[in-house]
Amino acid sequence: MKSLCFAVVAYRYAVEVSPVVKNICLYLTSRGHSVDLVVDQWLRDQDFGLPGVRLVKLGLPWYYNLALRTRALRRFRRVRNLGTPLFAHRLKSIIPRYDWVLCVEIWSLGTVARTNFDLSKAIYLSLESVQTLSGFTRNIGRPKRLLSNCAFCIIQSPERGKDFAEHLGMTVDFEYLPVSLRPTESSNDSGQKQVDSTGPVCLVYSGYFADWACLTEFIDAYKQLRPAKEYRLFLQGHHIGTDRYLETVRSKIAQVEHVTLDTSFYRDNQHLQFLAQFDIGLAFYRGPSGNVNWDNLIFSSGKIASYLWAGLPILTNIDHAHTKKPPFLYVDSISTQAVRAVIDQYRLQRQAYHTAAREHARLYYNTDTYLDKIMLRLTV
């Protein structure tokens, strides 16, 4: 197979917390292709790096950042909007070298279009469904024109692909790539561990501290579980822009037994090892929302993929055919009674639930399986 040169362009997007972007890059390098990850800034991890991937930071000029910090200038839309053409100008000098360009969300695609790059060699990577389109422009015609000129799109599920097409009012040529992990990135023995069938049930939430994660509702249900010594709860994650919600969570758990709060940052392998200590992962979402970004979440959640590869069954309120059987523990309401019932169900067959989690990960959340199919379109 011919070695190709790829750019993954992420403008205004925190790629450090995106398992999809990271695993696409690592997959491509493992197949002998060269990959540049092109960003405007790091939002989460200043020491971010990927083996074999060249990081290209097209940071904005010092005078632009100074202007944004100057209150009098920050008020002017023209100054605030200078970032995109400045980034595009720097990108234009390097983009001719690439065979293919993956554009992370609509801001990246719009910026690549400004360079006059041939969009038939651009692939649109959708991670937030239609959520970012409205922030990009009020005129839906512009993203439609951009997307119609792309080679194709990558979307997390057939359901999200349908949502995307209906929102735009156009046929969307897309390939399916769930939020998933690569087997080499999840090579730990957590799925084969012998589970303690007599100890307390240890629950973990690992993700974004945000209202849509229903953490306060779960804490209210958890604190009524009895006897308290039979349960443990660990809350871990980040809170970019949600400090107030984190403080609400912190105050709620102050008087609750056996609850730990951790805002540490874990790199990928560290994160899987961390998760493997626990028994059940929590994946709650507020809904039904009527917002397609939050619907059809079963294949669009990084935490679900991570839990499964770490060998954890998942306690969730996502209503889907997959969640009605192991390794999922489905509740239709976040109440003490419902939570206790499914935990008791788990206690009866702990090892079977953990085995089912790893098997489910291999069947449905293996990045390489999906990317092998996508690569056929690029190498014909």
Q: Retrieve residue 249's tokens.
A: 């969570």
Range of the domain at 21: 5-180+367-379
Least confident of 68-77, 127-136, 173-182, 253-262: 68-77
Model confidence at 61, pLDDT cuts 50, 70, 90, reads low
Average pLDDT score over residue span 107-132: 91
Question: What's the confidence (pLDDT) of residue 239?
Answer: 86
pLDDT at 162 over 80: yes
Question: What's the confidence (pLDDT) of residue 66?
Answer: 58
Same domain, 155 and 213: no
Model confidence at 139, pLDDT cuts 50, 70, 90, reads low
Query: pLDDT for 325-348, tens place per residue?
Result: 999 999 999 999 999 999 999 999
Read off the pTM: 0.81
Q: Give the CATH number, domain containing residue 42.
A: 3.40.50.2000
Average pLDDT score over residue span 20-41: 94
pLDDT at 185 over 70: no
Question: What's the confidence (pLDDT) of residue 121?
Answer: 97
Query: pLDDT for 213-227, tens place per residue?
Result: 999 999 999 999 999
Angle, CA of 281, 15 and 322, to the nearest 5°:
35
For every residue of 231-296, DSSP letters joined together read: EEEEEEEE-TT-HHHHHHHHHHHTTSTTEEEE-----HHHHHHHHTT-SEEEE------S-TTTSS
* Element of type H or E holding 166: helix 158-168
pLDDT at 242 over 70: yes
Same domain, 54 and 162: yes
Mean pLDDT of the chain: 86
Question: What's the confidence (pLDDT) of residue 331?
Answer: 96
Same domain, 289 and 141: no
Same domain, 211 and 355: yes
Model confidence at 16, pLDDT cuts 50, 70, 90, reads confident
pLDDT at 90 over 70: yes
**Percent of the chain with pLDDT strictly greater than 70:** 84
Same domain, 371 and 360: no
Question: What's the confidence (pLDDT) of residue 84?
Answer: 84
Same domain, 84 and 167: yes
Same domain, 217 and 161: no
DSSP three-state, residue 224? coil
Specify the number of domains making up the chain.
Answer: 2
Question: What's the confidence (pLDDT) of residue 309?
Answer: 93
Same domain, 131 and 221: no
State the Cα–Cα distance between residues 174 and 95, nearest whole angstrom: 23
Q: Retrieve residue 65's tokens.
A: 């950042």
Question: What's the confidence (pLDDT) of residue 336?
Answer: 97
Model confidence at 301, pLDDT cuts 50, 70, 90, reads confident
Same domain, 103 and 212: no
User: CB under 8 Å to 5, separation ≥6 — which residues?
Assistant: 33, 34, 36, 97, 98, 99, 100
